[in-house]
Amino acid sequence: MNILVTGGAGYIGSIVTEQLLKEGHTVVVVDDLSTGHREAVSPDALFREGDFGDTILIHDVISEHKIEAVMHFAGETLVGKSMTDPQAYFQTNVRKGMDFLDTLLENGVRKFIFSSTAAVYGEPISCPISEDHPMRPINAYGESKLMFERILEWYRRAYGILYAAPRYFNAAGATPDYGEYHTPETHLIPLLMQSIVDPSYTFIIHGDDYATPDGTCVRDYVHVLDIAQAHILALHSLDEGSFYGAFNIGSSTGYSVREVLRVMEEVTGKDVRFRVGPRRQGDPAVLVASQERLERELRWQPRFSSLESIIGSAWEWRRRYPQGYVGLRAKPEVVTQE
- CATH number of the domain residue 252 falls in: 3.40.50.720
Please report which residue ranges of the chain form alpha helices under DSSP H: 11-22, 55-65, 79-84, 86-89, 97-106, 140-159, 188-197, 224-240, 257-268, 292-298, 307-320
In a domain, 179, yes or no: yes
Q: Residue 43, Cβ neighbours under 10 Å: how many?
A: 12
The amino acid at residue 171 is: A
Q: Is the distance from CB of 216 to CB of 148 less than 8 angstroms?
A: no
The C-alpha atoms of residue 101 and residue 79 are separated, in whole angstroms, by 24
Q: State the 10-residue block means of pLDDT for the chain, 338 residues long.
A: 97 98 98 95 98 97 98 89 90 97 97 95 90 93 96 96 94 96 89 95 96 95 96 90 88 94 98 95 83 92 92 96 72 38
Q: What pLDDT score was predicted for residue 124?
A: 86
* 201 is known as an active-site residue: no
Q: Residue 22, Cβ neighbours under 10 Å: how many?
A: 12
The C-alpha atoms of residue 232 and residue 212 are separated, in whole angstroms, by 35
Q: What pLDDT score was predicted for residue 323?
A: 87
The amino acid at residue 57 is: L
Burial zone of 44 (CB within 10 Å; 0-12 exposed, 13-18 middle, 19+ buried)? middle
Q: What angle do CA 331, 333, 335 make, to 5 degrees?
A: 135
Q: What pLDDT score was predicted for residue 327?
A: 53
In a domain, 327, yes or no: no
The SS3 assignment for 278 reads coil
Q: What pLDDT score was predicted for residue 337?
A: 36
The SS3 assignment for 134 reads coil
The C-alpha atoms of residue 324 and residue 307 are separated, in whole angstroms, by 22
Of 141, 181, 244, 325, the catalytic one is 141
In a domain, 167, yes or no: yes
Domain residues for the domain of 138 are 2-320
Q: What pLDDT score was predicted for residue 79?
A: 78
How many structural domains comprise the chain?
1
In a domain, 326, yes or no: no
In a domain, 8, yes or no: yes
Question: Could you tell me the strand order of the sheet in which 255-256 lies?
Answer: 255-256, 218-219, 286-287
